[in-house]
Amino acid sequence: MLHVLRRLVTFLLRMWSFFIAIIRINVRAIQSYESVTYRSVLASPWLETRLKSVPRKTLVLDLDETLIHSHHDGFNFARQMAKPSYPPDFILKVVELERRVGEIERRPTRFFVHKRPHVDYFLDVVSQWYDLAVFTASVEVYGAAVADKLDSNRNVLNRRFYRQHCTTSLLTGFAKDLTKVSSDLSSVVLIDNSPGAYRDYPNNAIPIESWISDPYDTCLLNMLPVLDALRFCYDVRSLLGRNLHQHNLWPKPK
């Protein structure tokens, strides 16, 4: 009798897990089609004149844990392996060349990529305000494939920078060199979840919370009012430099 009861409890727990998984998938699907709008107030004639007098700015976007999260089925890439409980938005097959003594081996790896909530709407809106660029510390073969999928024939993510454009440090790893994007840093804004990536340019950065799987995340939508306002200033550093207390530029000593 006890054995039958244990089997029944195990069966019910499995069924409960199955139903929870189905609910999560459906919530994700419904949310991906949820109508979202940013109510942009019409600018006064004075603001319209000011906008025409300042240069159009460049918005630099990080990929991993900022616009997307991914996990993989291989071991060649040093990537975080946290896995959301719902299916990926797309799957990429990336081939890495592994150099060994006397030979070069091709190792295919599948990446399961999840898009941050509202990323498509976010790109549609900010591409009207800014020239966009992608800057990732990942290798080019991976970063280019992700950027292609996110761009989805919009032709707004044509400027791309990868690991080879970063500087390196034993303390904080890869840091992004924004002078590769533009020599005029007064018109460059970076959104990145990693403070170490922009340690040399904190006055150009807007920190964003790392994203892995939360289907209710609204961080990208929350960025829109700030990015809307930054278009009107002559030097973005004059405003972003006031928020240095939000950055954790150096790791805390252990």
List Cβ neighbours of 136 (8 Å cut-off, separation of 6 or more). 62, 63, 64, 143, 146, 161, 162, 163
Complete DSSP assignment for the chain: -HHHHHHHHHHHHHHHHHHHHHHHHHHHHHHHT------PPPPPHHHHHHHHHSPPPEEEE--BTTTEEEEES-SSS-------SS--SEEEEEEEEEEETTEEEEEEEEEEEEEPTTHHHHHHHHHHHSEEEEE-SS-HHHHHHHHHHHHTT-----EEE-GGGEEEETTTEEEE-GGGT-S-GGGEEEEES-GGGGTT-GGGEEE----SS-TT--HHHHHHHHHHHHTT-S-THHHHGGGGGG---SPPP-
61 in Cβ contact with 133 (< 8 Å): yes
Active-site residue (options: 64, 124, 148, 151): 64
Q: Of 62, 184, 192, 235, which one is the catalytic site residue?
A: 62
Q: Which two tokens stand for residue 76?
A: 């060649």
List the structure tokens of 14: 């499995």
Q: Is 62 a catalytic residue?
A: yes
Rounded to whole angstroms, the Cα distance separating 187 from 179 reads: 11
64 is catalytic: yes
Q: Which positions are catalytic? A: 62, 64
